[in-house]
């Protein structure tokens, strides 16, 4: 096979002559300077929309006629081509647009003020409905939510009724899960647009929809107090989490590992950062809480050390806004003055995993994980290859490892449990020895609520352990004391050694 050949398995289905679809293997030569449409045109008799391009390559949606060299960098030279949504496949990669739009007949019947051109606009958004990773019968669709926002901008006086149409408790916009990892090129533009709709519903009195069912999620307690800043250290460990979360395994192992690495740190009362809904509810309160933590770390001579992914994402998101919005910064600092703190751009945060990837390599592993494997559930694209080599651990990072459903506990508990079990068992079924998680919320789903989730998913419960990176590193360093590792507080017992 030529070096300039792609190995392609293309989804082929013609309802006129095929009873079932098939994945047909092709060897397709390509021009290094060419584009995606040239490859698609080289696949014999492949039906696709050359005008409004949309397909999946290796499960990731592509909507642009990208350069082949760029696609090879991302997907390699073995591609599986599929339609955006197999249930809606009309022929090969073509979708049945009428079927995609059929669920919205009732909405259009309730909106007689829309022109034919405005109704037709929905077709431009319908393909986005195919991106959501969750299984949710009756879900209105992310493309429809974006269409609704477009309508609200055209008809601001009708915003309450349009927003009401997507605020449904069972199938509405609050059930959204991020799409950015389902797209290439990866972008959070769609996520940001849909989050803005959720913000409208979470902003209580500012919401255009009276008595909306989701305003309660914005009622987040932020407890500020004047801190003791008499001691100094290079790191301030953020350790303020919801009581429902079992943070002991994470914090216990983090403290022990930092001590082994001779990294001096402080623990002072931080302000809860608001969690998932904090950044979408009252922005000023969220920023004040995050600024308090960052400013406190800076005042004691260090950086804010976030031991898990969610806290780090909130801290960095807040920092971006504070550093780029002078008016917000001024307002926040007026609030912080009462506690003897002031945020400045010099204040910063670091993610524990990134710190460990540098510091741990100075030590020698006593019991490396050679022959072991794990699925690593994390949003970050960083793999830390040097650290994994140090551990001797083989990790899998399939697409589902980017998914998380912990925030849906506040929206639809049964769905959150079921979807979390789906991705947890997808990892377990790869035959791994354990799961790794970067977020405490994911640990909550995979450990604390794992048995409930198994029941929701209608599968016999499997006790495969979920571990944080500091626990894995400590095990590699020969630590076996379960209490020191925080393993004694796991609900799923650590049982593979």
How would DSSP label each residue in 256-279?
A: HHHHHTT--EE---PPP--HHHHT
Query: What pLDDT, in 10s, does the model give residues 415-462?
Result: 999 999 999 999 999 999 999 999 999 999 999 999 999 999 999 999
With cut-offs at 50, 70 and 90, classify the pLDDT of residue 205: low
* pLDDT at 89 > cutoff 70: yes
CA distance 359 to 460: 40
In this prediction, residue 118 carries a pLDDT of 97
Going by the DSSP 8-state scheme, the letter that residue 83 receives in this structure is: -
Residue 101, Ramachandran bin (φ over 0: left; ψ between -120 and 50: alpha; else beta): alpha
Same CATH fold, 97-214 and 5-95?
no
**Residue in the block written with tokens 């309450």:** 160
CA distance 205 to 401: 37
Sorted by where each begins, the domain ranges of the chain are 5-95, 97-214, 235-354, 364-489
Q: Which helix (H) or strand (E) holds 118?
A: helix 116-120
CA distance 129 to 139: 9
What is the percentage of the chain residues whose pLDDT exceeds 90? 91
CA distance 214 to 207: 10
CA distance 469 to 449: 20
In this prediction, residue 157 carries a pLDDT of 93
- SS3 category, 378: coil
Query: What pLDDT, in 10s, does the model give residues 94-113?
Result: 999 999 999 999 999 999 99
What is the percentage of the chain residues whose pLDDT exceeds 70? 98
Identify whether the C-beta of residue 240 lies closer than 8 Å to the C-beta of residue 296: no
Please name the residues in contact with 320: beta carbons below 8 A apart, sequence gap of 6 or more. Answer: none
**For the domain with range 364-489, which CATH number is right: 3.90.190.20, 3.40.50.11810, 3.60.15.10, 3.40.50.300?**
3.40.50.11810
CA distance 407 to 280: 12
Query: Please, what's the b/e burial string for 372-395 (b: 16 or more CB within 10 A of its CB; e: otherwise)?
Result: bebbbbbbeeeebeebbebbebeb
Q: For residue 8, what are the β-bridge partners?
A: 26, 79
CA atoms within 13 A on the CB side of 330: 3
CA atoms within 13 A on the CB side of 413: 4
CATH superfamily to which 5-95 belongs: Beta-grasp domain (3.10.20.30)
CA distance 121 to 117: 6
pTM for the predicted model, two decimal places: 0.95
User: For 235-354, CATH number?
Assistant: 1.20.1050.140
Average pLDDT along the chain: 94
Determine whether domain 97-214 maps to CATH 1.10.1060.20.
Answer: yes
Q: For the chain, what is the radius of gyration of the CA atoms?
A: 25
Please name the residues in contact with 349: beta carbons below 8 A apart, sequence gap of 6 or more. Answer: 294, 297, 303, 304, 305, 306, 312, 315, 316, 319
Strands (E), 313-467: 349-351, 373-377, 394-396, 434-437, 466-467
* pLDDT at 207 > cutoff 70: no
What's the CA dihedral at 465, 471, 477, 483 to 10 degrees? -90
CA distance 312 to 376: 17
The average pLDDT across 184-203 equals 94
Query: What pLDDT, in 10s, does the model give residues 131-157?
Result: 999 999 999 999 999 999 999 999 999
Query: Please, what's the b/e burial string for 125-159 (b: 16 or more CB within 10 A of its CB; e: otherwise)?
Result: bbbbbbbbbbebeebbbbbbbbbbbbbbeeeeeeb
* pLDDT at 497 > cutoff 80: no
The average pLDDT across 68-84 equals 97
User: CA of 384: how far to CAs of 358, 403, 421, in Å?
Assistant: 9, 20, 27
């Amino acid at each position: 096979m030529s070096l300039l050949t792609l190995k392609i398995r293309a989804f082929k289905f013609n309802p006129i002559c095929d009873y079932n679809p098939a994945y047909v293997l092709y060897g397709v030569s390509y021009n290094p300077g060419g584009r995606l449409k040239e490859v698609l045109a080289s696949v014999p008799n492949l039906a696709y929309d050359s005008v409004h391009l949309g397909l999946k390559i290796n499960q990731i949606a592509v909507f642009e006629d990208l350069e082949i060299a760029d696609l090879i960098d991302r997907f390699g030279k073995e591609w599986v081509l599929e339609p955006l949504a197999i249930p809606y496949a009309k022929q090969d990669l073509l979708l049945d647009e009428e079927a995609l739009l059929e669920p919205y007949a009732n909405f259009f019947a309730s909106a007689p003020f829309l022109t034919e051109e405005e109704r037709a606009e929905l077709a431009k958004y319908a393909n986005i409905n195919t991106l959501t990773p969750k299984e949710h019968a009756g879900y209105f669709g992310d493309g429809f939510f974006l269409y609704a926002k477009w309508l609200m901008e055209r008809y601001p006086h009708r915003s309450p009724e349009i927003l009401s149409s997507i605020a449904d408790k069972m199938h509405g916009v609050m059930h959204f899960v991020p799409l950015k990892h389902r797209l290439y090129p990866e972008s959070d533009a769609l996520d940001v647009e849909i989050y803005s709709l959720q913000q409208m519903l979470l902003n209580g009195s500012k919401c255009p929809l009276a008595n909306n069912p989701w305003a309660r999620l914005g009622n987040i307690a932020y407890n500020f107090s004047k801190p003791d800043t008499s001691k100094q250290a290079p790191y301030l460990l953020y350790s303020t989490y919801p009581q429902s979360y079992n943070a002991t395994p994470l914090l216990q192992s983090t403290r022990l590992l930092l001590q082994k690495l001779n990294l001096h740190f402080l623990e002072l009362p931080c302000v809860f950062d608001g969690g998932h809904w904090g950044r979408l509810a009252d922005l000023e309160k969220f920023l004040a809480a995050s600024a308090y933590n960052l400013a406190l770390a800076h005042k004691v001579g260090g950086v804010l050390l976030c031991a898990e992914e969610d806290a780090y994402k909130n801290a960095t998101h807040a920092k971006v806004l504070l550093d780029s919005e002078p008016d917000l910064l001024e307002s926040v600092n007026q609030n912080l003055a009462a506690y003897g703190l002031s945020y400045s751009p010099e204040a910063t945060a670091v993610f524990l995993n990134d710190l460990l990837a540098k510091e741990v390599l100075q030590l020698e592993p006593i019991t490396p994980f050679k022959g072991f494997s794990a699925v690593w559930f994390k949003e970050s694209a960083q793999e830390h290859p040097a650290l994994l080599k140090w551990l001797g651990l083989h990790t899998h990072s399939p697409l589902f490892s980017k998914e998380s459903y912990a925030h849906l506990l506040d929206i639809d508990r049964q769905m959150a449990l079921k979807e979390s079990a789906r991705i947890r068992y997808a990892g377990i079924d790869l035959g791994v020895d354990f799961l790794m998680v970067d977020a405490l919320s994911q640990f909550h789903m995979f450990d604390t609520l794992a048995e409930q989730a198994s029941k929701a998913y209608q599968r016999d419960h499997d006790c495969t352990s979920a571990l944080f990176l500091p626990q894995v590193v400590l095990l590699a360093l020969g630590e076996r004391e379960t209490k020191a590792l925080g393993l004694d507080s796991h609900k799923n017992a650590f049982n593979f050694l």
